[in-house]
Structure 1
């Protein structure tokens, strides 16, 4: 790589994209890497502040920023993930090929970013992404970097990709609505439409629905009925607080094979319950507190993508929700593009 005065560079080949920024109008390459500089290009280069430019010269010990970006991409790519078509200004981006849950190995991502002279920036871990969404960008900082450094970081990170995108599984949900007030017709059931809408957003649906009084044995019977109807996920609404009539946690604990938690460090949603049925935790069973019915975003919005992506969650997973588990109740909700659900390292 050779530094030259711009006026002396006619006929030379650019070794980097040259960016032009005009506020509120334009931001992008005015010349691309590999462009052979012409006489008429000189005023343009000077107008974007390029009194001197780098001309590429082959060097076996150095790697161009574009090639280095490809190395970083290779550390990230996985099934259901692809790259941006072009490398622009030395940067590559990672793009989702399907709807799903993004999983990030935070320790190995930190290893890359702590190495120096290279970076990978991403959305947060456990992020629900849409097909076509850009989820990460990567580049090296200098225009050229030692090949030995890129080989070293490859060895440190290893062969397992840093990113995974888990497609959602379509679940057949059995819904059990509990509460004397609904069972005896004292109030209208406004909880079920909320659950149905949130499930539909992920391609799942309610296939069996039972309404129970606060009698715990009736709740147990209703859970068994939706399971018998073929449900591979059970959701119970209502009866999750500490009131004497709230027996849903009792009913879930007596039908599940593995109770993960009753309680979560998330607001709204502290009275959440998670359990599983089956030898291999095949059937997730959720107890949803009343806040899910009336709050825009709750524990349910954090748990649903992970469960539908096939994760079997542990008590430690739930405990880690505390940092980032406080919803700010913003006037305009932009979830999931916010701090709700973002966990600390």
Structure 2
């Protein structure tokens, strides 16, 4: 690849290295220059541009990213389309991601032109969550390098594999000692239930026994007869030895102990055993809390169908100090409120959601489209809010104006903030500014949602959040379907001052052209991002609203 200043008379077919803004037109970085683009540059007074020219054997960045990602895709993983030399890989179902670091490291060491980034190995992921990204650094990759990269990715064990969580039945034995508070017992059950259900499992009715070997063994046997596929013992007193009450009960019930202790804190005092082919674990005392601890790592592997050997446990020390770090599902102080600790989203950039619900609904008069109920009686604006609340965007701010009291009443009980647009009649920009002014100062971005798009689901919004990275140039995230641009859009905080200056009945979409080099598109699986419903006829085509009159 030849890179550098290129005279325009030699630039046809070259790849533009930097965005060029012309009168009425923007040529984005990565544009392949055709005759029309060259003519526009000449009219703009340019005699040359900084560009990359491909040599024989070079493979363009998107084609190269396609090849590497296709070699990495495995069952239950999907991929995005290539754009600016990048392809993202996603989980198709909830499960445990296993990464062969040797394969990934070999790929990254091959040549500086090809990079692969993944989540950490044995990380629990939700459906549609991004698990890896392939990025081609220059505008092209030498064909010889690409061929070697493809062979590396396909040889031996897969670099990426997703092991889906299985719907296992779990039996829990809870032991009692005098003086143990009932609230502690109840908390242990609820924390265990949350862990199990987050991994797609079911907690059988739990057994409560004295903290003695014989009754615990009897309870384990009863749970086995009920179909338990994993057995757990939560002792009123922590296990301190492999011959303690809990482990001894596993042995008495016909099992054996494989390993005691683990290099993970919290979670040191865990005991792993089996009764025939059923894993049987004595839990550490910290398992009574919903906070992340070593038992989560063990349960995630068991639910994913992976064997947990003593060697596996002894290899968990690196990263096993579970302090407040980014890979924790939630900070300890917040963990008690987490509905699903094992699959709670990792902390990342704080992105708020703004829901525009202030308009006068003129095209559906005399009805207010936002208050039209679906076939279950849920108003459209409530469906939109519920979808947004199912995403990771927080806080969620709803902008009200026309029929403010009725709209706010329709959202009673939902965890949203309200921003009143006093001058909503002046147009969309007035409502937008009222919402932006209500956002907290610490947010890094905002996804702007329309109140008449009830088909945009939470995972779709999360895909926008996953693509958001202003430092890498992805500061405006736009959803697309088959190349058509849709809503909602995500904006970095840096654009808020210009958005606050907009006037009239317009939003911020015109800024896309001005900052074309900061825009990233995210292709969606269906057309929900294109479908708004602002007339009665249109609403009749929306799933769940067919009966609207």
Normalising by structure 2, we get a TM-score of 0.53
Q: How does 1:290-305 map to 2 (within 5 A)?
A: 290-294=285-289, 296-305=291-300
Relative to structure 1, the CA distance from residue 185 to residue 245 in structure 2 (aligned partners, 3 Å threshold; closer, same or farther) is: farther
1: CA distance, partners of 2:214 / 2:299: 27
Q: Which residue of 2 aligns with 1:125?
A: 121
**Does 1:227 find its partner at 2:224?**
yes
Query: For residues 2 and 44 of structure 1, do their structure 2 counterparts lie closer, same or farther at Cα, with a shift above 3 Å needed?
Result: farther
Q: Distance in 1 between matches of 2:95 and 2:43?
A: 48
> Greater helix share, 1 or 2?
2
How do 1:203-282 residues align onto structure 2 when only pairs under 5 Å count?
A: 203-238=200-235, 239-242=237-240, 247-255=245-253, 257-278=255-276, 281=277
Which segments of 5 or more consecutive residues in structure 2 lack a partner in the other structure? 21-26, 336-343, 348-549
Q: Is the contact between residue 267 and residue 299 of structure 1 (CA under 8 Å) also seen in structure 2? A: yes
Distance 1:275 1:41 in 2: 72
Cα pair 2:172 2:231 within 8 Å, conserved: yes
Q: Alpha-carbon deviation of 1:181?
A: 3.4
Structure 2 counterpart SS, 1:181: coil
Give the number of aligned pairs: 323
**Contact 1:178–1:248 (CA under 8 A) maintained in structure 2:** no
Cα deviations by residue, 1:107-150 (Å, 9 ceiling, x for unpaired): 11111112122211111000101111111111233322222222
1:327 corresponds to = 322
CA distance in 2, matches of 1:136, 1:164: 11
Q: Distance in 2 between matches of 1:318 and 1:161?
A: 23
* Displacement after TM superposition at 1:78 (Å): 0.4
Contact 1:17 1:32 in 2 (8 A): yes
Q: Which moved more, 1:301-310 or 1:322-331?
A: 322-331
Deviation at 1:328, TM superposition (A): 1.1
- Structure 2: distance between partners of 1:4 and 1:245: 72
Cα RMSD of the aligned pairs, angstroms, is 3.4
Cα distance in 1 between the residues matched to 2:289 and 2:224:
27
Say if 1:321 and 1:245 are closer, same or farther in 2 by CA, change over 3 A. Answer: closer
User: Which runs of 5 or more structure 1 residues have no equivalent in the other structure?
Assistant: 21-28, 339-345
Q: CA deviation at 1:170?
A: 0.6
Q: Distance in 1 between matches of 2:183 and 2:107?
A: 59
Question: Are the counterparts in 2 of residues 102 and 126 from structure 1 also a CA contact under 8 Å?
Answer: yes
Q: Does 1:107 align with 2:102?
A: yes
| Partner residue in 2 for 1:25 | none
The aligned counterpart of 1:23 is none
**Contact 2:267/2:286 (CA < 8 Å) preserved in 1?**
yes
**Aligned counterparts of 1:192 and 1:273: Cα–Cα separation in 2:** 19
CA contact (8 A) 1:16 1:90 kept: no
How big is the shift at 1:200?
1.5
Bigger RCO of structures 1 and 2 (CA < 8 A, at least 6 apart):
1
Q: Deviations over 1:58-116 (max 9, x none)?
A: x2x2222222212221231001101113x222111111111110011111111111212
Counterparts of 1:44 and 1:221 in 2: how far apart (Å)?
85
- Give the Cα–Cα distance (whole angstroms) in 2 for the partners of residues 80 and 186 of structure 1: 41
Counterpart position of 1:26: none
Q: 1:244: how far off?
A: 12
Once the two structures are overlaid, the 10-residue window that deviates more, 169-178 or 155-164, is: 155-164
Quick check: 193-202 or 164-173, which moved more? 193-202
Q: Answer whether contact 1:93 1:136 (CA < 8 A) is retained.
A: yes
